[in-house]
Structure 1
């Protein structure tokens, strides 16, 4: 099909290729407490019901595809994580996808690694751009969000606290440093780090520096928002409840 073949009322028509079999969709949530997930479904207009019975050949083809997806996916994430593991942790710079990646228009990602021992802390600094959304997230070497329902492994533009100088400072530490923008690595001393921007007017780097854990307070500016253990518990309870509500479907 060509763009001229698009049905007139369908402003968001997406041209596909004959070999396309999957639609990948990602939703971003800023305020977890109030934003609702979209209700989406795929309707095949020429669908015949009931469908033909599943025969051995089709069943085998689907199993082969599943095996390919599992092995190729595991290889991809392993190689990606290993490449980051072999590089020195440092600043993370977001980048725009290629111009022909039409499904990624407006999105920018930055990826790196972190290393943080029991008596260390990593301080990240970001001057947020004007954008629809941004976030910073920790993950394992396989890009798995560790204990996202019970630990603060990510913060976005609605959750993080900005200091008076316009800089957002995050602290990665194995123990709670008592500051609002703590990123909890869930016991992983090494892992991956991602920064995301949507429709940003610029792509600032996420700075990175390793300090002794006992020096965290002196490395942060006066007025940094502190969080008590009781407040932290309530924050985590609220995040967990918001996540459960979103995934209730």
Structure 2
């Protein structure tokens, strides 16, 4: 019996479903691996994070993974993975193997988008075996969260016709002159398109569709396909559970050991589907509820920048609803000399700058993105009592300069 027949048998017997449920249980219990203080709020958000991971992974890896029905679909509402900026939407389409595709669409008026093709560790017909019993060691062979960019194409590199339309070919072989091309490899798993908004109330998003160039007729789902989709989904939830733990206190970031700093790291950003057209500084933050964190930096010339505040699980504290939690190049207040001041506190202390509500959190992750620039900028940081925040003396800053690893 080949692996596809095994996957079919496991789905029909219910074994594939049981393994999926067991994998979700294993992921949820991974909070016990966090060594350090966890508030009731941290724990509540962890389990909510698990439900969001399950929901988004089902959308990406079951609903949106039919090989004869390729679709570009946005991430589900309120999902925020890997310090995802509120100003971006993520369109994804899962590939079961590197066939040839065409994306057609209209440019819209958003300032910028980028297409990236990605790969991750994955066996053929993963629905043919149990994964829960392999635990976190199984992620070495099968980890949908471990996305690596193998090629990307920014909107400025794509020719747009007078009517606003464009076309991009995705294939292993060069389609020749006159075509915008994204090269696929036999291991390509999916495409991710990041749409960056300036003003959601007025910008017009690109309209994009994807099709297979062989024009294969749509086919109904099969037991083997659903068995594979359940395995992909369970491993994605498990992989992201380990990813956020590893960023917080593992060898991928260990932010818990170096709190209240921001480190520019190309390797850190590219470790999960990033594209090398930007500089991103990540770090961990911590303060008491009666304290404030104040940052200052001067943005360089760039296509786009943003600063955002997240919880321990890399979710933006606002997540689209309250107009807080982040600032960017088009929604911020700058000092006369161009400096941007960010005040993170439970209430606005009234010292000017850009107040970001910490929403009852005492620790988490933050990020500064500088898109399409070769420059990084120094960052200054103060941790001060909220009651007497007053004037900030540069000599009392707890962080100065920039860190590059």
Distance in structure 1 (CA, Å) of the matches to 2:197 and 2:318: 18
Q: What is the TM-score with the length of structure 2 in the denominator?
A: 0.49
Distance in structure 1 (CA, Å) of the matches to 2:384 and 2:257: 21
Higher relative contact order (CA 8 A, sep 6+): 1
Distance in structure 2 (CA, Å) of the matches to 1:177 and 1:103: 36
Moved over 4 A (4+): 100-103
CA offsets per residue over residues 205-248 of structure 1, 9 Å max, x none? 32211011123342399xxxxxxxxxxxxxxxxxxxxxxxxxxx
Within 5 Å, give how 1:89-128 maps onto structure 2.
89-90=260-261, 92-96=262-266, 104-128=275-299
Give the direction of change, closer, same or farther, for the CA distance of 1:166–1:55 in structure 2 (3 Å limit): closer
Match of 2:188 in 1: 20
Distance in structure 2 (CA, Å) of the matches to 1:63 and 1:18: 22
Give the direction of change, closer, same or farther, for the CA distance of 1:132–1:50 in structure 2 (3 Å limit): closer
Match of 2:354 among 181, 187, 190: 181
How far 1:122 sits from its partner (Å)? 0.6
Q: What is the TM-score with the length of structure 1 in the denominator?
A: 0.78
Distance in structure 2 (CA, Å) of the matches to 1:95 and 1:193: 13
Match of 1:246 in 2: none
Match of 1:129 in 2: 300
Within 5 Å, give how 1:1-249 maps onto structure 2.
5-11=174-180, 13-51=181-219, 53-82=220-249, 83-90=254-261, 92-96=262-266, 104-148=275-319, 149-178=321-350, 179-219=352-392
Give the direction of change, closer, same or farther, for the CA distance of 1:147–1:103 in structure 2 (3 Å limit): closer
Distance in structure 2 (CA, Å) of the matches to 1:2 and 1:117: 53
1:134–1:156 CA contact under 8 A, matched in 2: yes
Q: Secondary structure at the match of 1:218?
A: coil
Q: Where do 5+ consecutive residues of structure 2 fail to align?
A: 1-170, 395-405
Structure with greater strand percent: 2
Distance in structure 2 (CA, Å) of the matches to 1:96 and 1:118: 32
2:340–2:353 CA contact under 8 A, matched in 1: no
- Root mean square deviation, CA, Å: 2.5
Give the direction of change, closer, same or farther, for the CA distance of 1:30–1:220 in structure 2 (3 Å limit): farther
Distance in structure 1 (CA, Å) of the matches to 2:355 and 2:226: 48
How far 1:165 sits from its partner (Å)? 2.3
Distance in structure 2 (CA, Å) of the matches to 1:73 and 1:63: 16
Distance in structure 2 (CA, Å) of the matches to 1:211 and 1:137: 20
1:116–1:172 CA contact under 8 A, matched in 2: no
How many corresponding residue pairs? 216
Q: Where do 5+ consecutive residues of structure 1 fail to align?
A: 222-249
